[in-house]
Amino acid sequence: MVFRKLPGVSASGMGLRLSQKFVFLLFLSGLVTLCFGALFFLPDSVRIKRIFLFKTETQPVTVGSGSENDAREHLKRPKEGVSSAKGETSTKLKPLSRRPSVSHEGTEERLAGGKAQEDLTLARSRTESATSSDQGAQSDTFTYKKFKRCLLKAPLGRDNGKPSDPQTNERREKVKEMMKFAWDNYKRYAWGKNELRPLTRNGHIGNMFGGLRGASIIDSLDTLYVMGLMDEYNEAKEWVQTSLDLNSNGEASLFEVNIRYVGGLLSAYYLTGEELFKNKVVELGEKLLPAFNTPTGIPRGVINLGSGTSWSWGWASAGSSILAEFGTLHLEFVHLTQLSNNPIYTEKVMNIRKLLNKIEKPHGLYPNFLSPVSGNWVQHHVSIGGLGDSFYEYLIKSYLMSDKTDEDAKTTYYNALEAIEANLVQKSPGGLTYMAEWRGGILDHKMGHLACFSGGMIGIGADDGAPEKRQHYLDLAAEITHTCHESYTRSATKLGPEAFRFDSGAEATATRLSDRYYILRPEVIESYMYMWRLTHDPKYREWGWEAVEALEQHCRVDSGFSGIRDVYTTTVSHDNMQQSFFLSETLKYLYLLFSDDDLLPLEDWVFNTEAHPLPIIRTNCLQNEATQDKTL
């Protein structure tokens, strides 16, 4: 090493200075090391620790850990969505934990999340993601006129889907009357609240929507419009204009706000072209973004819409996020990108997709709990019912909604379906096909009402499967739908229980008291509707009509519709809750079942998991339209 003499400094003097400097630097670096080391002794909650050590906050995959009770509790939780309903039936909500095991403060997460996502090489820029840019890009700003020109058919059909057969038309009118009855009572007793309590004749707010109000109004907008209940639709629209306040400051379920509010407003916009809905939905979409500020970009389940702070459900083991929650954002977020011309929404959901593609799947299956910090699975519980369900639904629907360009969604869906068939699909001794649940390799021979949506899902995906599998998928869809129908016919009320079993001699019946309730859920009817459209087998309309009669007989009360506590007794006990999804889904699917196929044709529309129709995005057409507009 060569020391160059500094001017005016002797060699020995320079040596002295250098050794002083050396000692000083040694002291300084010792101090820094000490301070850094001390971080490890600080409690996890200290902000500075989380900023410096976020990368080491990975959690080991704890297969099979966590309490079984926890798992049972939230098996019902995410899909039920409406907390009080659960509270009043047999399922009680556990309170949200304010002190989860990992950090949840918006600001730190924002800093940490951005950096860690780079580390995981999860691309966030448009150019890095071909699919993302395909889905998100518009050569020009979206306009409603362009969008309408790119539809293949008129959304409401030739004659609003009116069937020519008089009996079917009568049945359709009956469903419309049920909608009007449900709406009128909501309006009379619970206007502006989230849901109607039809026995006590008051409103329910609940804690799922972060202080947002009017869930039944937002969930009903498109149903009212499609049914031609225009006075009611106008009342709903006016409420959105004057009273939908998005500046709430409460704790919301990202999933529920997305499927009901974002989905409901998007559909209302696409069906009507009212800019009001578009403005509202874009404003709301922005408020959901902070939930993604985690080290992996996997959003947490709960978000404070005012502060942007987010955290995991207290009942989700080890601060995990839920597959059916973070996996049920794709459709709405791609549309938010389209309407706002901001790629960020599509980037967020593509990031989730990439992480899921990357991590190892046990037997090709997707467990229900994932750590948003480490990106590892937490517990190996797999279910096509609660906690998992709509993740699978959104894969095939993402493919369909992309005008069949999202090949990645397609591959992921069919691979997942293969794993489901290999590991979960079972045949009962009585010959009923069902989807069991999987707990670390052990089958639980139980199928939830929620899992009954899968008949419709497998049906709509049948045609795009491998040619040799198409008929098989359609048959599988029909078998699952048949099993779900059996779960209805085997009860005294002809309505299906929350969960039914295929063990200890049971064949599609609930064996536990706590599984006997019915909360006006749509999934079985949803599958009837899809299977009707796909096969035109009249039995699906008959089965739908059986459900209408049962709803009328057992769930209709003086002031609305109510869930019931036990489907196996005709001396019914009502749960006093008219769920918003009854207006959004159950009645809409029934109405479509008795309508011609040209009402919301499947060539142009996919339904989000709350039955809000979203249009297929024809990027090429929209871009050509943009070019044409410019040259006109």
Catalytic residue annotation: 498
Give the number of other CB atoms < 10 A from CB of residue 464. 16
Nearest alpha-carbon partner for 199 in 578, 576, 582: 576
For ligand DMJ, the closer of residues 606 and 622 by Cβ is: 606
Q: Establish how many alpha carbons lie within 13 A of residue 14's alpha carbon, considering only the half-sphere containing its beta carbon.
A: 9
For ligand DMJ, the closer of residues 428 and 580 by Cβ is: 580
CB of 526 to ligand DMJ, least distance (A): 8
Where in 32-51 is the site for ligand DMJ (CB under 6 A)?
A: none
Q: How far apart are CA 228 and CA 620, in angstroms?
A: 32
* By the rule CB under 6 A, 521 interacts with ligand DMJ: yes
**Bridge partners of 448?**
499
* By the rule CB under 6 A, 79 interacts with ligand DMJ: yes
* By the rule CB under 6 A, 609 interacts with ligand DMJ: yes
Contact string (CB under 6 A) for ligand DMJ, positions 324-363, x = contact: ----------------------------------------
229 in Cβ contact with 183 (< 8 Å) = yes
CB of 348 to ligand DMJ, least distance (A): 20
Nearest alpha-carbon partner for 591 in 531, 536, 548, 535: 548
For ligand DMJ, the closer of residues 81 and 496 by Cβ is: 81
Nearest alpha-carbon partner for 270 in 156, 147, 153, 158: 147
For ligand DMJ, the closer of residues 290 and 522 by Cβ is: 522
- Non-local (6+) Cβ contacts of 338 within 8 A are 136, 138, 142, 617
> What does DSSP assign to residue 56?
G
Q: How far apart are CA 128 and CA 329, in angstroms?
A: 21
For ligand DMJ, the closer of residues 80 and 596 by Cβ is: 80
Sign, CA torsion 438/499/523/368: negative
CB of 271 to ligand DMJ, least distance (A): 19
CB of 136 to ligand DMJ, least distance (A): 24
CB of 340 to ligand DMJ, least distance (A): 24
Please identify which residue in 225, 581, 589, 594 interacts with ligand DMJ, judged by CB under 6 A: 581
For ligand DMJ, the closer of residues 82 and 289 by Cβ is: 82
* By the rule CB under 6 A, 204 interacts with ligand DMJ: no
Q: What angle do CA 610, 611, 616 make, to 5 degrees?
A: 115
φ and ψ at residue 405, rounded to 5 degrees: -105, -20
* By the rule CB under 6 A, 267 interacts with ligand DMJ: no
Where in 240-259 is the site for ligand DMJ (CB under 6 A)?
A: 259
> What does DSSP assign to residue 298?
P
CB of 586 to ligand DMJ, least distance (A): 8
Contact string (CB under 6 A) for ligand DMJ, positions 522-561, x = contact: x---------------------------------------
**Amino acid (1-letter code) at residue 370:** L
For ligand DMJ, the closer of residues 168 and 328 by Cβ is: 328
Nearest alpha-carbon partner for 606 in 266, 224, 169: 266
Residue 40 burial class via C-beta count within 10 angstroms: exposed 0-12, middle 13-18, buried 19 and up: exposed
* By the rule CB under 6 A, 454 interacts with ligand DMJ: no
Please identify which residue in 66, 81, 106, 465 interacts with ligand DMJ, judged by CB under 6 A: 81
* Four-CA torsion 57, 58, 61, 67, nearest 10 degrees: 20
> What does DSSP assign to residue 530?
H
618 in Cβ contact with 403 (< 8 Å) = yes
Residue with structure tokens 């006075």?
Answer: 231
**Bridge partners of 205?**
none
Q: How far apart are CA 392 and CA 433, in angstroms?
A: 19
CB of 474 to ligand DMJ, least distance (A): 23
CB of 204 to ligand DMJ, least distance (A): 15
Please identify which residue in 325, 408, 610, 625 interacts with ligand DMJ, judged by CB under 6 A: 610
For ligand DMJ, the closer of residues 368 and 609 by Cβ is: 609
- Non-local (6+) Cβ contacts of 116 within 8 A are 54, 55, 295, 296
Where in 364-423 is the site for ligand DMJ (CB under 6 A)?
A: 390
Contact string (CB under 6 A) for ligand DMJ, positions 114-153, x = contact: ----------------------------------------
DSSP codes of every residue in 595-616:
S-TTSS-TTTEEE-TTS-EEE-
For ligand DMJ, the closer of residues 195 and 585 by Cβ is: 585
Give the total of residues touching ligand DMJ (CB under 6 A). 11
CB of 343 to ligand DMJ, least distance (A): 26
Binding residues for ligand DMJ (CB under 6 A): 79, 81, 259, 390, 450, 521-522, 581, 585, 609-610
